[in-house]
């Protein structure tokens, strides 16, 4: 068991007294602007009663701090470059001191150098691939190794964000193999942390308009494809469906789910192409 939690100054006063994550301590990485997927996740976690701490790094810090204020968080944003094991360890120490433990963490970190994206797959140098892999995939293992010891006997939950890497995407280039590595790391972490009741899962989101998405030059085309193919349609300006699924994966409702990739993409992944124009039978009506 972990030590008793001190009162946490990072909870906004509007946090629900109950909720799926009532009293759960959640670390959220990857909040840059209010458009960040992680922003919607942090917001949903707070709505469900969680206590939330954000991380950021380097020049992104001031943007994250602004987002934190908008979320109603008044505690400090912790510095964590996910490619720096010393900074990940320092975050674990800060969480131990502040909360005495941790119930869940969200890894919403993605980066690839410019020459690893946009049609340069055949010429990208290993050095750029290595950076993309370390920041976007290996960092999940780094975080898991430091954060798992903070999780109580009842277990915990790690959630990451992917863009379904079981297929190749236009111009996504080395982010594709990087996401494939991330999805595999999810399965290996699920294997190694399952005995401690720590679950590890990914959310395969459809295209969402964020800063990271701007780096993917095929984004507009992907967005259009989603609009035609996804049976439930898809709003690329709305990350809240992804955030709601993250709440599920962070909560006890998903207590028997691990090593999973859950698509939150309007059903795009399940279709082989855009639907033909057919006349559907009338429903029963009211
Ligand atoms: N936007 C999409 O269409 C989409 C779809 C599926 C999955 N994703 C994934 O969601 C995650 C979040 O991205 P987003 O789209 O919300 O964009 P975003 O730009 O808002 O977030 C990316 C985050 O990664 C952080 N980051 C980059 N390098 C880092 C490092 N070395 N250490 C720590 N943090 C670092 C940035 O500071 C930023 O907060 C990424 O893994 C991305 O690949 C995005």
Q: Report yes or no on 283 lying in a domain.
A: no
What span, in angstroms and rounded, lies between the C-alpha atoms of 244 and 251? 11
- pLDDT number for residue 18: 75
Q: Report yes or no on 16 lying in a domain.
A: no
- pLDDT number for residue 286: 58
Regarding the beta carbon of 238 and ligand 1, being less than 6 Å apart is answered: no
- pLDDT number for residue 285: 65
Phi/psi zone of residue 121: left (φ > 0), alpha (ψ -120 to 50 degrees), beta? alpha
Residue 190, SS3? Answer: helix
Active site residues: 172, 179
What span, in angstroms and rounded, lies between the C-alpha atoms of 237 and 210? 9
Q: Report yes or no on 104 lying in a domain.
A: yes
Choose among 178, 20, 187, 186: nearest CA to 112.
Answer: 178
Residue in 33, 68, 80, 109 to alter for ligand 1 test, most ligand atoms within 8 A of Cβ: 109
Choose among 154, 264, 246: nearest CA to 208.
Answer: 264
Number of domains in the chain: 1
Closest residue to atom 12 of ligand 1, CA basis: 108
Sequence-distant (≥ 6) Cβ neighbours of residue 38 within 8 angstroms: 28, 29, 30, 31, 32, 54, 106, 108, 161
Which ligand 1 atom is at minimum distance from the Cα of 81?
Answer: 32
Q: Which two tokens stand for residue 30?
A: 């990857």
Strand partners, 262: 203
Q: Report yes or no on 250 lying in a domain.
A: yes
The CATH number for 229's domain is 3.40.50.720
Q: Report yes or no on 179 lying in a domain.
A: yes
What's the domain range around 105? Answer: 25-270
CA of 109 to the centre of ligand 1 (A): 4
Q: Which two tokens stand for residue 177?
A: 């193999």
- pLDDT number for residue 45: 98
Q: Report yes or no on 277 lying in a domain.
A: no
Positions in the chain whose pLDDT score sits under 50 = 1-16
Q: Report yes or no on 198 lying in a domain.
A: yes
Which ligand 1 atom is at minimum distance from the Cα of 163?
Answer: 6
Q: Report yes or no on 153 lying in a domain.
A: yes
Regarding the beta carbon of 216 and ligand 1, being less than 6 Å apart is answered: no
Regarding the beta carbon of 244 and ligand 1, being less than 6 Å apart is answered: no
Query: Nearest 5°: phi and psi at 199?
Result: -95, 145
Residue in 108, 140, 171, 238 to alter for ligand 1 test, most ligand atoms within 8 A of Cβ: 108
């Amino acid at each position: 068991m972990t030590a008793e939690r001190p009162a946490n100054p990072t909870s906004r006063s509007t946090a629900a007294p109950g909720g799926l994550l009532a009293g759960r301590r959640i670390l959220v990485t990857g909040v840059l602007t209010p458009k960040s997927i992680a922003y919607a996740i942090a917001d949903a976690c707070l709505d469900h009663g969680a206590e939330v701490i954000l991380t950021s790094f380097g020049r992104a810090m001031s943007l994250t701090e602004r987002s934190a204020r908008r979320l109603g968080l008044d505690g400090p944003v912790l510095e964590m470059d996910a490619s720096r094991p010393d900074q990940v360890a320092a975050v674990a120490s800060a969480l131990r001191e502040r909360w005495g433990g941790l119930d869940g963490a969200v890894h919403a970190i993605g980066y690839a150098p410019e020459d690893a994206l946009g049609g340069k797959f055949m010429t990208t140098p290993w050095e750029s691939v290595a950076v993309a892999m370390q920041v976007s995939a290996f960092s999940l293992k780094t975080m898991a190794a430091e954060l798992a010891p903070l999780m109580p006997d009842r277990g915990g939950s790690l959630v990451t964000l992917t863009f379904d890497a079981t297929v190749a995407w236009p111009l996504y280039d080395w982010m594709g193999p990087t996401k494939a590595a991330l999805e595999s790391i999810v399965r290996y972490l699920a294997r190694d942390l399952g005995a401690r009741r720590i679950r590890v899962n990914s959310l395969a989101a459809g295209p969402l308009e964020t800063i990271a998405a701007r780096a993917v030059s095929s984004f507009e085309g992907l967005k259009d494809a989603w609009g035609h193919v996804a049976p439930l349609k898809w709003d690329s300006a709305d990350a809240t469906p992804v955030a709601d699924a993250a709440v599920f994966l962070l909560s006890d409702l998903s207590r028997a789910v691990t090593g999973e990739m859950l698509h939150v993409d309007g059903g795009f992944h399940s279709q082989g192409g855009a639907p033909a124009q057919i006349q559907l039978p009338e429903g029963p009506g009211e």
